[in-house]
Structure 1
Amino acid sequence: MNGNDQVSRCGYVAIVGRPNVGKSTLLNRILGQKISITSKKPQTTRHQVLGIHTEGATQAIYVDTPGIHLAQGDRNKAINRYMNDAATSALRDVDLVVFIVDRTKWTEEDELVFQRIEHLKVPVILALNKVDWLDDKAELLPFIQKLAARRDFAEVIPISAIQGDQVSVLEQAVAQRLPESIHYFPDDQVTDRSQRFLAAELVREKIMRSLGNELPYQTTVEIEQFKYQGKTLHIHALILVEREGQKKIIIGEKGERIRQIGRDARVDMQDAFESKVMLNLWVKVKRGWSDDDRALKSLGFDDLG
């Protein structure tokens, strides 16, 4: 019990779904701040990220996961296997699962996710996201009935993560199903990730948003320096790509693209770290890093939990 004689609850909640259904957008909406990066590109999230939401006596520890996807063709590299393993491992030892689908769109990858959760013993809440994009809400009912015939979902909740519609209803449904427990994290902590990790992710987000269809998925970001000098935070970030052509794309004509990426990332960093930020970016070619297990481990892709 806490001081208000409320039952103290705490538990882990895995947010799962195929790529680009809005998992990270939902987490950021619940937390009221950016913890997971977002873009319109599939596979933006590469790591498990904990988002800790404490309200009164209840602490929900959300696990944002990479989108579970079919590993074939260009998506059958070591990094793709890592992302699928990271998402699947999040289902171990959680108290609750939120399964997100995109309205009434059902793909092979949705089926793959469903197979991963089909036999879980913990409650699964089905969240139908992006319903604000539906012209006819009546389309939802037969889709829901079809899925409900395959699994007894704890609840089915239509939401719009980006608009915030029904997200509070989802949060309440989660809170009601968390076990009685002391809180695992301080009540003011919002993530398990370091500021260095968040800085790298913010740079990568701006790369993904800037490059559109030119986006080289074989891109990652490594923070080489992260230190305060007086009231200013100095960050040196290394952008790794696999080919010279990708390096040229990121740098852009006369360096304009990388300058824009840096400007956009610095704005978000200053908000996140509540400090003036001096950001320096470099681009380096590291051939084959995304299909090299040792290289991935050295870059921090070894945190499956």
Structure 2
Amino acid sequence: MVLTKGNQSAGTTFILLGFSEFLDLQKPLFMVFLIIYTVTVVGNLGMIMIIRINPKLHTPMYFFLSHLSFVDFCYSTIVTPKLLENLVVEDKAISFTGCIMQFFLACVFAIAETFMLVVMAYDRFVAVCNPLFYTVIMSPKFCASLVAGPYTWGIAASLTLTYFLLTLSFCGSRIINNFVCEHSVIVSISCSDPYISQLLCFAIAVFNEASSLVIILTTYIFIFHTVIKMSSDGGRQKAFSTCASHLTAIAIFHGTVLFLYCVPSSKNSGLIVKIGSEFYTVVIPMLNPLIYSLRNKDVKETVRKLITYSMQF
């Protein structure tokens, strides 16, 4: 029976295969992903708390970092609990509504993270290239506007893609060969023409990746040019130090995205995409707070004080 759009689609279910082809690894994978998710939650919520309680960290750079941590926490929480559930239960079903909601929310925060990294690059550009006007340019109102941008575009783009997914009908196989409801796997099991939906997804993805990388690369060209002209070695080192964590996060995030786009079509590509998607959706949200905390003296000092304080009670 063909499952058409509207009420009939809302009543169907999909099967998320996840890593079910590796039956012997279900429990080890569950433990690994549970540890990763625990570190992700503690790391990102801990980063937000540290930024809030330490007055030294009440600056635009850490304001943006707290939002990056919030985005990472939400993104991981949308994907990982369902992945963990599917590793320990036999019924790997997800409702049509649940699948669409997972896609929508994951899309919102994935796009928000893409442009939150752009906002952080602009912040570093102003700090290094216009230090005397930094506090004037990066006013609280302007910072709030910069943060609102990634969320607004994320919601708008995700609503557009979700709307066109809802116009599709589904019949035949309901099996999704992935652990998350991504756009490509949803349209792959549709029995209606997904051309418009695929075209929109491609256009939005290319726009997001191209525009964000162009802005980031442009800002860092100006940053490096300014740093090279600095006469003080200390100033040079400080400038590079403040940018190093952000550059690391950018390299990991965009490197993974570009890798997924460039996976060749072959019999092994499904597994490669699945592993790449796992890194993109589960591992990166764990890495970001570690990257920023390990290279930051103020963050490490706040963590030490919290640990010392907690050990006294």
Same fold (TM > 0.5): no
User: Based on CA coordinates, which of the two structures has the bigger radius of gyration?
Assistant: 2
By percentage of residues, which structure has more strand? Answer: 1
By percentage of residues, which structure has more helix? Answer: 2
Q: TM-score, normalised by structure 1?
A: 0.23
Q: TM-score, normalised by structure 2?
A: 0.23
